[in-house]
Amino acid sequence: MSADADDSEVVRASDVGGDGPPVEEKPYKIIFEANGCFGAGRCAQVAANWEMDIETGLARPQSFYVAEDELAENVRAAEVCPAKKGRGVIHVVDRRTDEEIAPDPHGDGTLSVDW
């Protein structure tokens, strides 16, 4: 997205993927920029939800929707991802507010994808 993008070009987490399970069950959503993953595997080292795909050599989540008790490990996976010069390609979003929890490099809760 260009620096002079207007609000109509803002990508929101709710615009990405399907509806998923009920928000009450799985209030957090993973947005994964798979095209930016280079297979460092740090996410899989810190989170049970992440695994390395043997065929592609890249990471992948087992689930794109996570419960409260799975939040901390997925936030950690987002924080340790070295892709995009340390900004990461794993984004954890609160489905109730559409705010990015991690890695949130802008510090304002907006989704920090580079599509």
Q: What is the pLDDT of residues 60-81, one digit of tens each?
A: 999 999 999 999 999 999 999 9
In this prediction the pTM is: 0.84
Residues β-bridged to residue 99: 94
**Where does residue 35 fall: left (phi above 0), alpha (psi -120 to 50 degrees), or beta otherwise?**
alpha
Confidence at 112, pLDDT banded by 50, 70, 90: confident
Cα gap 73→27, rounded to integer Å: 15
Q: What is the pLDDT of residue 70?
A: 97
Q: Is 94 exposed, middle or buried (0-12, 13-18, 19+ CB in 10 A)?
A: middle
Q: What is the CATH number of the domain that holds 40?
A: 3.30.70.20
Q: Please indicate, yes or no, if residue 73 is contained in any of the structural domains.
A: yes
In a domain, 40, yes or no: yes
What's the pLDDT band for 114 if we cut at 50, 70, 90?
confident
pLDDT bracket for residue 113 (50, 70, 90):
confident
Asked if residue 3 belongs to a domain, the reply is no
Q: Which domain holds residue 47?
A: 22-102
Does residue 11 form part of some domain?
Answer: no
Q: Is there a domain that residue 17 lies in?
A: no
81: in domain: yes
- Tens of pLDDT, residues 7-64: 456 667 777 777 799 999 999 999 999 999 999 999 999 999 999 999 999 999 999 9
Domain count, the chain: 1
Residue 82: inside a domain, yes or no? yes
The answer to whether residue 78 is domain-embedded is yes
**Which residue in 19, 32, 58 sits closest to 114, CA to CA?**
32
